Every structure is written in structure tokens, then in C-alpha cells.
């Protein structure tokens, strides 16, 4: 059995989202067991089927507006997210899923599960859409505002194994996000990162990639610092929403548009689905020894169930051990603390 800890109180809608998602997940996956960490009084009325679902009670949870994650997590080990992370550290569960505040999930993974000694930084890695429907990995998207070249190289190692195991790409290409495609473009950190990626025989390095090529690039992985990655990800999400809204306006603006919609309805729904983050589930926290998936804060039950599916797949494929087998060994004393 695969045992997953779920932060039942994480996200905008708390257990109203997580509990139905868990019931659907155990129905779909017969090898799945879920432990819900949260307020039992709020969870139990929603838990219509408790088969392979248990509850660890705690009334405390992290508010989505928490602005000091390091201090909060150090002072509130009995919060639902912290208890789920601690269970992963103690090997009581195989993975963790939460829709809680992004920085709290990242910091919780770093402080409670603990960062792998082989990597310099923990990273946040979602699967983003692509024209060829295979999906792409983008990291870091916000775990670290700044990264040194060696940290980005670590993330490239991690992402290469993820692409092989989760996206089933035999020899994934790694692209470095930059303001131009030519070597020598960008900041000093970009140039140093380029040289490191190019020189590493274990990385299939493509070169620099401009963000306008993100959806059509031959690359399977895009690496950058957390500030840039987060800006890119949110721009993509906002653009997709804006295009959808403008399309609806144009359809409603004329009789011809409304008639055309009747013929194009299935195609438009398929188009929408290709850009729908709920189909993916969430972003993976890379750099820790246990699979952790950060679901979107506004996830509905369907999206959160897919985040659970994603975590289950990471356990099933033994992803972390495969990553570790491919990571170069480092001196633990050279890694910085958070």
C-alpha cells in the first residue's frame, strides 16, 4: 500500500476540497491509503466513506495569508501541515500533499522533512502545458528568489530524472530561460549557469530559451531562478484566463458567434482542458527525500485528487531514489542552511 499524508486544512476551501478529493482518490487507486491531518469535527461530517482513510486530529492549521512561514512552522509543530510533514520525516507515510501557502509548504519540507544533503536548495517544479501535449517541467517557480549556478544545476539533475520517470521522456532536453538565445546573453549568473550546464555530460543541455518559445520549444525542462520562474508561471496562468474571458466575450457579442459556439463547443472545451492546471494537480517540491506535492490554493476536489495521483506516481516510480542515484555526491558541509 502507498500511504499519503494530506494536509486536510490547507488551501482556500479547507476540508471542503480535500476530503471529497481523498474519497475519490481511494476509489480510483486500490493501493492507496490516506491519512488526513486536520480538525476531526470538520472532517468527519464530510467523510462519507472512510475506507482506507484515517484522521489525525489537530484544530490548528496555517492561514493562507501567513507572512512569516519560518517562524510559524518552528513555533507550531502541531499545525496540520507540520504534522503531515513530520509524519513523512518519521517514515510513517510515503508522501505529502497540501494546498496550503506555497512558502509554508516549501519551508515545512525543508525544515521538517529536511533537505537532501546532495542538493544546495529546495525547488518548486510544476508541469506546464505544451503544444505537443507532453507537458514541460519549469523550475524553480518560487521556492528561492535567487539561485546560484550550482543550485540551478542541481535542479536540472532532479528535473531530468522526473522527466524520464513521470513524463516518460528518454533523454530530456534542458533549456535555460534567458532574454536571448545566444550564448553570453543575460546576467552573470545566467552565463555561469550556461557554462555549467553545457560542461556537464549528464545534462542534455539545449541552450538558452526565450520565454516566448515556452509552449513550442523542443526542450522538456526549463530551469531558472525562483523570481523569474514565478513571474513566467503567473504570466502564463493570467494569459490563459484572459484569453478565455476574451473568447467568451466575442462569442456572446453576435448571433453568429453564438451559433458558431454550438458547433465548436467540444473543441473549445478540449482547448480549455489543455491549459487547465487542475489536470496536472500541483507542483513538486524537489530536493527533499520524500515526494511532496503543493496543490494550488484554489484547487477544487478534482484538482486536489490529481495532486494526490501525482504524489502516488512519485512513490510508485521510486522517483527520489532514482534521482539520488543520478546526483553527484557533495560535501554536506558546503550546503547552506535555509
Per-residue confidence (pLDDT) for residue 277, from 0 to 100 = 59
**What is the C-alpha to C-alpha distance for residues 198 and 109, in angstroms, rounded to an integer?**
30
6 and 18 Cβ atoms separated by less than 8 Å: yes
CA-atom Rg of the chain in angstroms: 20
**What is the C-alpha to C-alpha distance for residues 6 and 9, in angstroms, rounded to an integer?**
9
Q: Across residues 106-121, what is the average pLDDT?
A: 92
Kindly state the cell numbers that stand for 268.
473549445
Q: Across residues 320-324, what is the average pLDDT?
A: 90
> Are the folds of 1-121+280-338 and 127-278 the same?
yes
Kindly state the cell numbers that stand for 217.
520549444
Q: 60: phi > 0 → left, psi -120 to 50 → alpha, else beta; which?
A: beta
User: How does DSSP classify residue 211?
Assistant: G
Examine the pLDDT at 70 and tell me if it is beyond 90.
yes
pLDDT band, very low/low/confident/very high, at 252 (cuts 50, 70, 90):
confident
Neighbouring C-beta atoms of residue 231, cutoff 10 Å: 14
Class of domain 1-121+280-338: alpha beta
Class of domain 127-278: alpha beta
Instruction: Domain ranges for the chain, please list them.
Output: 1-121+280-338, 127-278
Neighbouring C-beta atoms of residue 335, cutoff 10 Å: 16
pLDDT in tens, 264-299: 888 777 776 666 655 667 899 999 999 999 999 999
Residue with cell 496555517: 62
Rounded to the nearest integer, the mean pLDDT of the chain is 91
Per-residue confidence (pLDDT) for residue 280, from 0 to 100 = 63
Amino acid at each position: 500500500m502507498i500511504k499519503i499524508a494530506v494536509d486536510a486544512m490547507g488551501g482556500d476551501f479547507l476540508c471542503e476540497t480535500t476530503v471529497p478529493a481523498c474519497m475519490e482518490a481511494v476509489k480510483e487507486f486500490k493501493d492507496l491509503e490516506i491519512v488526513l491531518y486536520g480538525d476531526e469535527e470538520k472532517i468527519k461530517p464530510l467523510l462519507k466513506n472512510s475506507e482506507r482513510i484515517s484522521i489525525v486530529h489537530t484544530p490548528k492549521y496555517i492561514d493562507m495569508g501567513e507572512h512569516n512561514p519560518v517562524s510559524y512552522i518552528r513555533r507550531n509543530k502541531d499545525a496540520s501541515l507540520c504534522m503531515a510533514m513530520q509524519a513523512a520525516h518519521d517514515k510513517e507515510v510515503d508522501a505529502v500533499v497540501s494546498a496550503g501557502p506555497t512558502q509554508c509548504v516549501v519551508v515545512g519540507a525543508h525544515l521538517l522533512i529536511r533537505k537532501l544533503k546532495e542538493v544546495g536548495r529546495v525547488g518548486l517544479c510544476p508541469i506546464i502545458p505544451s503544444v505537443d501535449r507532453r507537458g514541460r517541467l519549469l523550475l524553480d517557480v518560487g521556492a528561492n528568489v535567487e539561485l546560484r549556478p550550482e543550485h540551478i544545476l542541481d535542479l536540472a539533475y532532479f528535473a531530468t530524472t522526473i522527466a524520464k520517470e513521470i513524463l516518460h521522456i528518454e533523454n530530456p532536453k534542458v533549456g535555460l530561460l534567458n532574454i536571448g538565445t545566444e550564448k553570453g546573453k543575460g546576467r552573470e549568473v545566467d552565463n555561469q549557469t550556461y557554462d555549467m550546464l553545457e560542461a556537464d555530460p549528464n545534462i542534455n543541455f539545449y541552450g538558452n530559451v526565450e520565454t516566448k518559445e515556452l509552449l513550442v520549444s523542443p526542450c522538456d525542462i526549463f530551469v531558472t531562478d525562483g523570481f523569474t520562474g514565478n513571474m513566467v508561471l503567473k504570466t502564463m496562468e493570467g494569459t490563459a484566463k484572459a484569453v478565455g474571458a476574451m473568447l467568451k466575450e466575442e462569442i456572446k457579442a453576435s448571433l453568429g458567434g453564438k451559433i458558431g459556439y454550438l458547433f465548436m463547443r467540444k473543441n473549445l472545451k478540449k482547448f480549455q482542458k489543455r491549459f487547465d492546471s487542475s489536470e496536472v494537480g500541483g507542483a513538486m517540491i524537489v530536493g527533499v527525500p520524500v515526494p511532496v506535492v503543493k496543490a494550488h490554493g484554489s484547487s477544487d476536489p478534482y484538482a486536489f485528487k490529481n495532486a494526490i495521483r501525482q504524489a502516488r506516481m512519485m512513490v510508485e516510480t521510486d522517483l527520489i531514489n532514482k534521482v539520488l542515484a543520478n546526483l553527484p555526491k557533495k560535501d554536506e558541509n558546503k550546503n547552506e542552511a535555509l
